[in-house]
Amino acid sequence: MASVQQTALSGLARALVQHSRLNEADALACSVPSNTPGGFVAEVVQRGLMRANEVATFCATTFGSPWLDLAAYDETYVAKDAIDVKLMAKHQVIGLSKRGNRIAVALADPTNLRALDEIRFQTGLAVDPVVVEVDKLVQLLAKLTETVATALNNLSATDDFDMDGLNDVSPEETQTVDASAEVDDAPVVRFIQKMLVDAINEGASDIHFEPYEKFYRIRFRTDGVLREISQPPLALKEKIAARIKVISRLDISEKRVPQDGRMKLVLSKNKAIDFRVSTLPTMYGEKIVMRILDPTSAMLGIDALGYDPEQKAALLDAIERPYGMVLVTGPTGSGKTVSLYTCLNILNKPGVNISTAEDPAEITLPGVNQVSMNDKAGLNFAVSLKAFLRQDPDVIMVGEIRDLETAEISIKAAQTGHMVLSTLHTNDAPTTLERLRNMGVAPFNIASSVILITAQRLARRLCTCKKPVDIPVEAMLDAGFTESDLDGSWQAYGPAGCDRCKGTGYKGRVGIYQVMPITEEIQRIIMTGGNSMDIAAQAQLEGVHDLRQSGLIKVKQGLTSLTEVLATTNE
């Protein structure tokens, strides 16, 4: 029968005594709680009672657990993102690998059922214990813990900017978080704040937080190009994602489906930036993209957008008419939203009632009645438009015409004394009219309602460090320049690179536009069933520049490079 002393021993200690590998007195002495990393097994080794490999071999043989030599294990495969570092340090365990719903856990004492149960509860995974030598376990665990601690210290040291006046979302937008984690997560909070401020200062349009199998990276999209900014430790991906979701009013417990939210960053009493937040479950965690919505972008004025004088005059003439439809077209990220908001800002006067239906409302405009779509509640563009017509509107803005019902209601509104602004995803202005017809809109309704279409792209603007370049005449002619254009009166420029533009040669972007008023002759082509090529040919006869021609004008003006125009426009 086991003695009273033996019953107080752990499972491993009892087994060692029963197999005469230790005497009871030594086993009890090593079982006394101490600050030695590795616990009982480490005490046995440090006292010289057994070697680390002898204990590991005994455990593998006695308890039937697999044995692993950590010296031959590639530490980059450690599943440190699956088990919290605090839990690993507490129980002296390491997550070796994760496959499906199982995780292999390295430990020196396979009878430590409390550790295995806590890991199973925390991860929701089935745990497979793997025996390792205690000295190698402690060494690797210290290295992993030091890596994360150093990373957190580095994050806390990144606050080389003024945090005064920098607040997160308003109180009603916050959610309850684990109070015990607040102190440890403070560096992560400050790190995210720094990323947001840096993105704003650099003029970025988007921030990407991206988890992968062996690394985690953050990228900014600046002037349309993604650029890697930072690679925080992979172990911090859950903390970063949780913090962003909390301040964006998202469900931090839901990681299986995409979520959309928004937050506000208050920089000062007169400066606040909105962020549209989107989460996406990927193989290795949640990817988060934050779109930066700067309200001042809509206040720049039409002159800052890059319209040529003739294009600007045509657009202003169209939106100042009492009724009709103005359409803005282009791919995602071509600046359609800023163009629409600029037009709305021009029309936003005390005597004008403006209503917008957006998915979602991105930039807040005081004095404009903005409605965000909610498909779950049945609030879509068509429903909103019907409601607008009972709200005595003067100007209606529809975020996007996606279907026949929305198109027909918009056209009826334009025909009954309202100015309607909207967007479509088409390549250029002539194909927009054909797209409406393909939706099922009658040619008569198109011809009688649409008064102007503007297609647009965004090209990177050359930095002030730009340098003159010599381009072969043949290349200039192939790009679309005529021989009369190459009269030697102007100089083409290309990117050089400096500190201001971070060596790219480009700083900011400039719009390239095709502004096509719907004249009587184009109306006739629509009514007689003409296609987009017929409309484009007529527009050329009327002096409308296509996107490539407008881009070449920007090259002549030294605003952008020929390479950039060729990359953003079709011939």
- Those residues whose C-beta lies under 8 Å from the C-beta of residue 335, and which sit 6 or more positions away, are 305, 456, 458, 509, 511
pLDDT in tens, 405-429: 989 999 999 998 999 999 998 888 9
Which stretches within 124-181 are classed as H helix? 134-156
CA angle 28, 32, 38 (to 5 degrees): 105
Upstream peptide bond of 360 is cis (omega within 30 degrees of 0): yes
pLDDT of 182 above 50:
no
Q: What is the Cα gyration radius of the chain?
A: 33
Confidence bin at 147 (pLDDT 50/70/90): low
- In this predicted structure, what is the pLDDT of residue 151? 55
- Element containing residue 195 per DSSP (H, E): helix 182-202
**Cα–Cα distance measured from residue 386 to residue 371, given in angstroms and rounded to the nearest whole number:** 13
CA nearest neighbour of 467 among 488, 441, 495 = 495
pLDDT of 124 above 70:
yes
- CA 242, 245, 249, 250 torsion-angle sign: negative
pTM (whole model) above 0.75: no
Please state the three-class secondary structure of 165-177 as a single string. Answer: CCECCCHHHCCCC
pLDDT of 35 above 80:
no
- Those residues whose C-beta lies under 8 Å from the C-beta of residue 570, and which sit 6 or more positions away, are 427, 428, 547, 548
Average pLDDT on 270-289 reads: 90
pLDDT in tens, 302-357: 888 889 999 999 999 999 999 999 999 988 888 888 888 889 999 999 999 999 99
* Residue matched to tokens 């657990």: 65
pLDDT in tens, 495-550: 998 888 888 899 888 999 999 999 999 999 999 988 899 999 999 999 999 999 99
Average pLDDT on 149-175 reads: 43
φ, ψ of residue 462 to 5 degrees: the values are -65, 140
Q: Which 3 state secondary structure label does DSSP give 447?
A: helix
User: Is residue 319 within 8 Å of residue 419, measured between CB atoms?
Assistant: yes
pLDDT-wise least confident of 30-39, 236-245, 345-354, 460-469: 30-39
